[in-house]
Amino acid sequence: MTIEFFKMSGSGNDFILIDNRDHSVVVENLERLARTICERKVSVGADGLIIIENSDRADFRWRFFNADGSEVEMCGNGGRCAARFASIKGIAKEKMSFETVAGLIDAEVKGDTVKLRLTAPYHLRIDYPINIEDRKYEVSSINTGVPHVVHFVHDLDHYDVFHVGRAIRCHPHYRPQGTNANFVESLDRHTIGIRTYERGVEDETLACGTGAVASALISSSKGLIESPVEVRVKSGEVLKVYFERTEGGFENIYLEGKTKIVYQGFLWEEKS
């Protein structure tokens, strides 16, 4: 048996995408499949697996699995890749919506650039302390489809993202689900730099879409930036975040950036 797939990259996040609208991939095996084919050096390798399914509410439904096999609600860069994949495969037109656990996501594809409209964020908390190894860190947090913590730093390029990020990800304050950890440097009124330790990948990634949005919204809440925001990620690419401030928080939140088709292929039985 073989399974057709696309390998795509969204600003440095890489994903494996499979069209499963015909139910050819057995659902009960998706968690194991994600762990197997996302493992680098011995299989395709990726930050996550995206399964495209039929939907009664939108153009399609997706299921997103991290490299460790855990299924999560949303992924911004993965969502942008899924939208372009759907456009290429004729699943949806250039303007589309798709169903996620986090809610319905609107998207627009223009060539290799994809703009997503995200669901409303919640659980915004600004500037509170947590302790890591007897040291106090001031952090903020928000859920932009998945939970994110943001910590502002100086000299982002040399910051110990892996060590501190893992400690925040596993911190008792965020149990049982854990959190993603973002480290942000404010550069000017419309620009921030970001590095992210991602839950489920359990390492720093080259980009994180929902993390970019979370960092932009928290930066705005602290009065550091204004929309639109250019977010410089580890890969060297730039994501754009648009939003409107309201008395209750934020609305009309968009994430925009480039996507890349790396290759198309077939998975063989030997994948396992």
Compute mean pLDDT per 10 residues along the chain, 272 residues long, and list them.
93 96 82 93 95 97 96 95 98 97 95 96 97 96 97 96 98 96 98 97 96 98 97 97 93 97 90 56
- Supply the residues annotated as catalytic: 75, 208
Contact 150, 182 (CB under 8 A): yes
pTM: 0.93
Q: Which residue has the tokens 């690419």?
A: 237
pLDDT, residue 115, reads 98
Distances (CA, A) of 141 to 30, 45, 94, 216: 30, 30, 33, 12
pLDDT at 203: 97
Tell me the H-state helices in the chain: 30-38, 76-88, 161-169, 209-221
From residue 113, how far is each of 16, 26, 235, 270 by CA, in Å? 18, 32, 16, 34
Which 8-state DSSP code applies to residue 94?
S
Domains of the chain and any CATH numbers: 3-119+259-271 (3.10.310.10), 122-257 (3.10.310.10)
Q: What's the pLDDT at 136?
A: 97
